[in-house]
Structure 1
Amino acid sequence: MNLNLRNAILHNVSGNSQDELKDTIVDAIQTGEEKMLPGLGVLFEVIWQNSSETEKKEMLETLENGLQ
């Protein structure tokens, strides 16, 4: 991923409230547009980098269960 795209995405959501972030995520998922995938990826990267090992394990379990 181009670092300029990552920075642009982070800039666009920096300072957003939890409700605004939720709306962004829900909208991206509901529209199903391919162009939204990089943004979701960047948001997931932030979540991953700021999660404990226990939280990461829970996310991986959730992901694994969702893919079965």
Structure 2
Amino acid sequence: MNLNLRAAILSNVSGHNAEQLEATIDDALQKGEEKMLPGLGVFFEMLWKESDEQERQEILDTLEQGLKQQ
């Protein structure tokens, strides 16, 4: 069986507007379940690919600051 998890995740949110995407992300973060991590990873991958160098640096800076607070 060949399961393309990335394609399945994207299919599940295809056509969602910004409000629906935010609700999906908030729900995943609030539940804190390990099974939600692949979906968030796919979202991050999309964000990274669509970002220019300045936006990527901002993402990295935000991640760095967040890790310092752990």
TM category, shorter = over 0.9
**2:22 aligned partner:** 22
Q: Please list every run of at least 4 consecutive aligned residues from structure 1 whose deviation after the TM superposition is greater than 4 angstroms.
A: none
Q: Deviation at 1:14?
A: 1.2
1:1-68 mapped onto 2 (5 Å cutoff): 4-68=4-68
TM-score normalised to the size of structure 1? 0.94
Counterpart of 1:16, as a letter, is: H
TM-score normalised to the size of structure 2? 0.92
What CA RMSD, in Å, does the superposition of the two structures yield over aligned residues?
1.3
In our comparison, the structure showing a higher alpha carbon Rg is 2
Q: Deviation at 1:3?
A: 6.4
| Number of residue pairs matched by the alignment | 67
Task: Find the residue that maps to 1:15 and give its secondary structure.
Answer: coil
Question: For structure 1, which runs of at least 5 residues remain unmatched after alignment?
Answer: none
Task: Find the residue that maps to 1:16 and give its secondary structure.
Answer: coil
